[in-house]
Structure 1
């Protein structure tokens, strides 16, 4: 197995709120990839004493450990347990009912000798490449399908669509959200490689339209994860003034790419 991982903050003066991890089982027959994109809290706080990187580190660590060791658990069960474990770490000090309690998107894959399983929650992306080169994107597009009017302000988002039926879901403090994830599995022999990306790196396709998911996978496989992140930074910088592509989005977002050849 060969891996290539890059994760960097959008602003060097701020901590990276993404998490990325690769785990391998002791028997050498399987492993996992975990990618989280922490949700930046509002300036007026989120009812929690802890930072988003604190949250993503603990949730990501729990997911990596449980995904490798919990072969008898489904990925939604693993996500639910990891959320519960993380919530227990600060339920005594923080208001976990706050709509902006620390939370994250999730892209999770686990493979064994016979199967590749996947789980995606919110707008991180997981790409599966078959031996013939076909790339299948696994996406949770509920946020993208919401009308712009539903996303006009943070207060409106929090009150009407964040972690609500008819809106979109993230991994926060409620373990029941795990059943909302996009999940599935494919035979191991049908997957030659996979890539997991936070939306900051997926901007190459989703925001700047430099190429489709297959083209993105091609450049990561050929040029490397670093090339993709560097190219996204170039595109962000070029659009800083006119914001023809970025619109109201961050000038530079945290960006994470993990590429694994199975």
Structure 2
């Protein structure tokens, strides 16, 4: 089994709000991966004393532990319990009902000798390569369907459409959001390799149009996760002045890629 992970902040002077982990328990052929992209508050207060990295570390740590130790739980149940644990850690000090309370996108995958389970919430992406070499992108596309007028920038949605019907959903303080995630499972034989990506990397496809999901997958496999992040940074730098591709988007975003060859 090959596992490779790379993550880089969008701004070296600010903490990385992404979270990534992969675990291969000693008990057998199974494992898990977790990738979170923390949502930077668009403006104003969040009602919380804690930072987004504090939140993603708590939530990501709980997801990693539960997905390994509680294989009897479904992935939506794992996400719901992880959100509940994280909320319990700061509900006495923070206003968790605030629309800009710390929150994150989620990619969660778990595998054993028989199957691969997956969960995707919001705009991070999970790529799956099957035994034939075909690549499938598992996505939650609700953010793409939000009217552009509801976006503060091309990447930041107003709180009026986040975790609301007709908008899109992220992991914040309400465990019931886990039921909104895109989920499923595949026979292990149909999932040879997994690649989880935050939108700081998926902009290679979605903004810069350098290729499709299969091309991005091939690039991660050939050059490695760190090299792909560097390629995205080069594209961002080249477009910084004219903003032909970036338009209203931030120049650099936190970027994370996790590659798992089963």
Distance in 2 between residues matched to 1:14 and 1:92, nearest whole Å? 27
Query: Post-superposition shift, 1:145?
Result: 1.4
8 Å Cα contact 2:236/2:246 also seen in 1: yes
Match of 1:75 in 2: 75
Q: Where do 1:213-228 residues align within 5 Å?
A: 213-228=213-228
Distance in 2 between residues matched to 1:40 and 1:68, nearest whole Å? 28
Q: Where do 1:1-262 residues align within 5 Å?
A: 1-152=1-152, 157-159=158-160, 161-262=161-262
Query: Post-superposition shift, 1:202?
Result: 0.8
Distance in 1 between residues matched to 2:74 and 2:229, nearest whole Å? 32
Change (3 A) 1:242 1:22: same
Distance in 1 between residues matched to 2:48 and 2:149, nearest whole Å? 28
Q: Secondary structure at the match of 1:5?
A: strand
8 Å Cα contact 2:195/2:258 also seen in 1: yes
Query: Post-superposition shift, 1:152?
Result: 4.7
Q: Secondary structure at the match of 1:158?
A: coil
Aligned residues: 261
Q: TM-score, normalised by structure 2?
A: 0.97
Q: Deviations over 1:70-95 (max 9, x none)?
A: 11000000000000000000000000
Which range moves more in the overlay, 25-34 or 83-92? 25-34
Q: Secondary structure at the match of 2:186?
A: strand
Q: Secondary structure at the match of 2:159?
A: helix
8 Å Cα contact 1:4/1:224 also seen in 2: yes
Distance in 1 between residues matched to 2:119 and 2:157, nearest whole Å? 28
Q: Secondary structure at the match of 1:73?
A: coil
8 Å Cα contact 1:25/1:69 also seen in 2: no
Moved over 6 A (4+): 153-156
Q: Secondary structure at the match of 1:61?
A: helix
Distance in 2 between residues matched to 1:239 and 1:68, nearest whole Å? 42
Structure 1 stretches lacking a partner, 5+ long: none
Query: Post-superposition shift, 1:25?
Result: 2.1
Distance in 1 between residues matched to 2:93 and 2:157, nearest whole Å? 27
Change (3 A) 1:156 1:36: closer
Q: Secondary structure at the match of 1:22?
A: strand
